[in-house]
Chain A
């Protein structure tokens, strides 16, 4: 039996190698899957890994999928590093979509004076709405010590139901034959595209900017440092006078705002209206992206691209190879499982069992170890 032996300090090689190793393992399992399903494994892997990035149009599509994942994951990484467990990013995304959507709906005569500036208003509204929704778990934990995992999770459902109510009711398109959707937002309120003919929009630029901003915040500002310490050693942080209150509100508001921004971008960008189908699970997938990205902005960029490739590859595998769509979820799950497994190697070494009796006796009370 192999043994796991704790390393004296976390291995920095493994921190970078672990995701690579996990990806390789996932590819290997994928290869095997395709074989078993009777499809050409190389073609299958090519659909997942090459097709989504092979030309400008494909990259444009990739950016549409990756931008929300990226934005949300960046915020979540800050939260998780500070030991604040925001599981409700999906709800904050929906609120951002509602806020941004509301502004877009007003874009008719009332706000005509704003012209293209209304896009900015939409994005700001998205950020504020997301922040508001994340502020609820922050408040409840601050005042009542209520666990933010559960509160933020409950708020996801409430957000989705709120969207459903608005889209089936007060915000429904009066000319839309009673279908549950709002009007299509006027062109002036749509997020501008980057290049003609490609769906990528300025959300990509915004995301890039946010990546840099997050990196600077986390690793170069004092407040970011405070959050890091608050997460790693809360007692030490308090002793040093870092406000634990700020360490709760800042990450939650930041991640809520970013999730809301993603929601507003999605709704005023590729979708162009509010429908009950806005929540597609980006808020939850982003948790995985944050993890695969090692909670680091650069890593998250790679992870977001990778996850998006899995999504798009899954679609392509369906239309080109006739493979079922469910494979996407399977691969994403396997990637995360293998990653979590490989992550153990960061903190532990694998060793063969000792044959010689150890000189030092095991510490008292270690009977729990098998």
Chain B
């Protein structure tokens, strides 16, 4: 049983990176914007955070640097896509490419750097509980932060005025505009906030998860996060669950290998993607379901007065 508890704990940790990125992309997509540049944002945030931690010795400074870097890059993306109405997909891809190159370039002198010795975070008293203690209460504070954020966003989208405005902007920008809301500024804010969360994910990866900098270390998690929003049908709680599923698949592979169970790992790795397609098919079949889930203006540019 102990093995399972540890598997659970590892899954929570692995899923946190995807969780933050997924929630960030969710913010974007709820406002109607698809950001294919998540991978690039995460990479730049990872090196920014790592470098900041190397120089200041303080994790939280590093994490903040990652958040700032993410927000900044997302801001550039936002200017292009919202104010200059460039194609969202092409711009996002450019950001991914650019982010990969810039992060590798900036990271060259940090490749052999190490961070101060990592500590094991534990929740006092709760971490001594049998099974649950090992499974849940020996995590970095941000793991709980991600869970809290998911709850907060669920509440915010459904019950707060600003959350509903954001959803209106994503579902029917023209109507929101007619009602007098500054659609483009709201979208811009969503893009920056989303980018900041992606940045947090990237920085968490390079500071907490694998305290190293290596070129390309995000290794596709940005793209997986994009799948997450669809897989979760745009609900924050499901995004986090999906993040644990996607993140957990790798840990599950190793667990099964360790137990001697023979499954071709590639097929195991395919499961999350197949599942995403399945979910997409299911929710898209019914137009009403689609309306109630997917932001209607997703991917489309908005020009006031158009």
Contact = CB atoms under 8 A, between A and B. Distances in A.
Q: Do chains A and B touch in the complex (CB under 8 A)?
A: yes
B101 A336 contact: no
B185 interface: yes
A331 B305 CA distance: 36
Interface string B174-190: 00011011111100000
Given A147-B284, A365-B178, A327 B101 contact: yes
A337 B98 contact: yes
Interface of A: 4, 85, 87, 140, 144-147, 149-151, 153-155, 157-158, 161-162, 164-165, 168-169, 284-285, 287-288, 291, 324-334, 336-337, 340-341, 343-344, 347-348, 363, 365-370
B212 interface: no
A144 B281 contact: yes
Q: Chain B interface secondary structure, helix, strand, loop or mixed?
A: helix
Contacts of A162: 266, 270
A324 B299 CA distance: 35
B280 interface: yes
Contact of B270 (A87, A157, A324): A157
Contacts of B1: none
Given A158-B273, A287-B93, A333 B280 contact: no
Given A146-B277, A368-B183, 20 more contacts: A4-B84, A85-B89, A140-B280, A144-B285, A147-B298, A150-B277, A157-B223, A331-B101, A332-B97, A333-B95, A336-B97, A337-B98, A344-B85, A363-B305, A365-B180, A367-B177, A367-B182, A368-B177, A368-B181, A370-B185
Interface centre among A336, A347, A368 (most CB of B within 10 A): A368
B299 A326 contact: no
A155 B278 CA distance: 12
B125 interface: no
A333 B104 contact: no
Contact of A161 (B266, B277, B298): B266
Contacts of A343: 86
Nearest to A140: B281
A15 to B, nearest CB: 15
25 contacts: A140-B280, A140-B284, A146-B284, A147-B284, A147-B294, A150-B230, A150-B277, A153-B227, A158-B274, A162-B266, A284-B96, A288-B93, A291-B87, A326-B105, A328-B101, A329-B100, A333-B95, A334-B98, A336-B91, A336-B98, A340-B87, A341-B84, A366-B304, A366-B305, A368-B304
A340 B86 contact: yes
Contact of A324 (B91, B104, B230, B264): B104
Size category of the B interface is 35 or more
A67 to B, nearest CB: 20
Contact of A330 (B102, B183, B277, B281): B102
A93 to B, nearest CB: 16
A326 B104 contact: yes
B248 to A, nearest CB: 16
A164 B180 contact: no
Interface string B257-284: 0000000101101100110110011001
A153 B36 CA distance: 11
Which residue among A140, A325, A329 has the maximum number of chain B CB atoms within 10 Å of its CB?
A329
- 8 cross-chain pairs, A with B, having the tightest CB-CB distances, nearest first: A333-B98, A329-B101, A326-B104, A368-B304, A336-B94, A330-B101, A165-B266, A340-B86
A259 B73 CA distance: 31
B219 interface: no
Nearest to B174: A365
B226 interface: yes
B108 interface: yes
Nearest to A165: B266
Contacts of B105: 324, 326-327, 330
A327 B80 CA distance: 22
B90 interface: yes
A340 B84 contact: yes
Nearest to A85: B89
B59 interface: no
A344 B84 CA distance: 6
Nearest to A369: B304
Interface in B19-34: 34
Most chain A CB within 10 A, of B95, B108, B280, B287, is at B280
B87 A146 contact: no
Contacts of A150: 226-227, 230, 276-277, 280
A277 to B, nearest CB: 14
B226 A336 contact: no
A291 B89 CA distance: 10
Given A145-B290, A164-B266, A369-B304, A329 B94 contact: no
B254 to A, nearest CB: 16
Contacts of B84: 4, 340-341, 344, 348
Nearest to A157: B273
A120 B264 CA distance: 33
B171 interface: no
Contacts of A365: 177-178, 180, 304-305
B264 A369 contact: no
Nearest to B108: A324
B91 A340 contact: yes
